[in-house]
Amino acid sequence: MTSTPTRVRLGTALWRRKPVADLVAEAGHGPLKRSLGLGQLTMLSIGATLGSGIFVVLGEAVPVAGPAVVVSFGLAGVTALFSALSYAELAGMIPLSGSSYSYAYATLGELVAWACGWCLILEYGVSVASVAVGWGQYVNELLRLAFGFALPESISGPPGDGGLVNVPAIVVVLLAMVLLLSGAKESARANAIMVGVKIATLVLFCAIAFTAVQAGNFTPFLPLGLAGMSAGGAKLFFSYIGFDAASTAGEEARNPQRDLPRAILLSLGIVTVLYCLVAVAAVGALPWQQFDDQQAALSHVLTSVLDSPFWAGVLAVGAIVAISSVVLTVLYGQTRILFAMSRDGLVPNALSTVHPRTGIPRTNTLVVSAFVAVLAAFVPLGKLADATSIGTLFAFGLVNIAVLVLRRRRPDDARTFRVPFSPVTPILGVLCCAYMMFSLDGATWVVFGGWMLLGLLLYFGYGIRRSRLAEAK
């Protein structure tokens, strides 16, 4: 008889929701400085998206999908689009730093919000580490092309990839940390410059590679069948991670209700066009069998089709700048998500403490940077990329569900953007995310299951008792 009230209290705690009105009030009176406009928010999302996915992971996807990697990009892009539409609607309604974590808290309850936030740590924190690994690969490529030597494997690769510690990956994470500590506006300005450089680099690659395209390189188009194309899409979904970065700047945007939806959709459109052009140029210029084990894939294409290594060196410089931008912006997003979780009491309070002069969560930034640097130094890229994809797909699926729930519970709330053809579009978003998740291999699911189990242990050991909603009862 005495156990029943305990079960009721536990059940109530797991599904307690944070009212939308309270979330909006927090957004309006938070300690972070509102300094970012539409252009900076768009560049933030492009900066977080356009990087190692196209410069590095392309080399892992082509051997899986063959020339159909072009369609794999499209498949991953459609999945991202459905979720982007849902993100745009919710970002306009709930302009908080917590992104999909905050949306889940308002709609699906605390336990699901925690699971979403834990997946976002996987998405942002782990993806920064994998991007940093790719940065080190292009540094070595540039050294080989320019000076004829490379860093020793022992200090340029993690265990399992022939090395002991990835020193370049640590360096780029620490450089991004220093820039983030200077302030959000300063970081956004630096990111905008880097985004311009990497877009110009990819346009240059396309211009050169298209001169070497041969129609025979596209046949057979599906050498590994539809399964290979789907597996390629699941791997390449990693390339779209980051378009939601603008939503993590909800409390630092000057006009979040108007600008956040626009920034999310505009950045995804620009990135998708660039990806498709680069994929066509790459597999058209070089037979797909020659991409195997090529992590600096685009430089490899130019080295193979041109007699001079000059342009490959230029591309390597662009890739280094591009990946630096991703490290900066995704690290930014991770710190803002942890800021929101800390403010809700689910993680320690120190992570939501803001420095009075810079307006930056300093302790948060230092802790996240140290965690990411360790991952980048000791974990191989492929394992990180796949684990990131499955965590992101889970979080994206929850965002689509959150749109459906809010449409039903709060149909009259003001929305600066509405998902078209709802409920069909959010449902398709959920189904696409599930399809992509089940296209990943069993080892990735094991890693994901272990990560979620660890998250649940932390929630029941700490978060459920320290939650601000628990204190309010």
| Model confidence pLDDT, tens digit, residues 413-444 | 778 889 998 899 999 999 988 887 887 888 88
pLDDT-derived band at 5 (thresholds 50, 70, 90) equals very low
Residue 27: CA atoms inside 13 Å, Cβ hemisphere, count? 28
Highest mean pLDDT: which of 3-17, 55-69, 310-324, 399-413?
399-413
Q: Residue 206 corresponds to which tokens in the numbers above?
A: 């396309």
CA distances to 18, 205, 418, 454, 466 from 461, in Å:
21, 51, 38, 10, 10
Q: Residue 288 corresponds to which tokens in the numbers above?
A: 């797909």
What are the tens digits of pLDDT across the range 362-377? 999 999 999 888 888 8
Burial class (CB in 10 A: 0-12, 13-18, 19+), 273: exposed
Instruction: Specify the 3-state DSSP secondary structure of 36.
Output: strand
Is the pLDDT at 256 greater than 70, yes or no? yes
As a whole number of angstroms, the distance between CA 187 and CA 175 comes to 11
Structure confidence at residue 295 (pLDDT): 61
What are the tens digits of pLDDT across the range 302-357? 877 777 778 777 877 887 888 888 888 888 888 988 998 998 899 999 888 888 88
CB 242 within 8 A of CB 49: yes
The angle formed by the CA atoms of residues 140, 209 and 297, to the nearest 5 degrees, is: 30
Highest mean pLDDT: which of 78-82, 129-133, 204-208, 466-470?
204-208
Is the pLDDT at 149 greater than 70, yes or no? yes
DSSP assignment of 198-252 equals HHHHHHHHHHHHGGG--GGGG-SS-TTHHHHHHHHHHHHGGGGTTGGGGGGGTTT
pLDDT-derived band at 255 (thresholds 50, 70, 90) equals confident
Q: What is the mean pLDDT of residues 162-176?
A: 87
* Cα pseudo-dihedral 49, 55, 61, 66, rounded to 10: 120
Query: Which of 1-15, 368-382, 397-411, 452-466 has the weakest average pLDDT?
Result: 1-15
Q: What is the mean pLDDT of residues 291-295?
A: 67
Residue 354's CB: how many other CB atoms inside 10 A? 17
Is the pLDDT at 410 greater than 70, yes or no? yes
User: How much of the chain exceeds pLDDT 90, in percent?
Assistant: 12
What are the tens digits of pLDDT across the range 18-30? 777 777 776 656 6
Q: What is the mean pLDDT of residues 218-234?
A: 84
Averaged pLDDT score across all residues of the chain? 82
Structure confidence at residue 153 (pLDDT): 79
CB 309 within 8 A of CB 296: no
pLDDT-derived band at 176 (thresholds 50, 70, 90) equals very high
As a whole number of angstroms, the distance between CA 236 and CA 171 comes to 26
pLDDT: which is higher, 86 or 300: 86
- What type of residue is 279? A
Query: Which of 148-162, 208-222, 257-271, 439-453 has the weakest average pLDDT?
Result: 148-162
Spatial neighbors of 313 by CB under 8 A, at least 6 apart, are 142, 145, 146, 299
Q: Residue 216 corresponds to which tokens in the numbers above?
A: 């025979």
What are the tens digits of pLDDT across the range 97-117? 778 888 888 888 899 899 989
Among 469, 86, 422, 53, CA closest to 244? 86
pLDDT-derived band at 8 (thresholds 50, 70, 90) equals very low
pLDDT: which is higher, 89 or 250: 89
Is the pLDDT at 379 greater than 80, yes or no? no
Q: Residue 378 corresponds to which tokens in the numbers above?
A: 């000791």
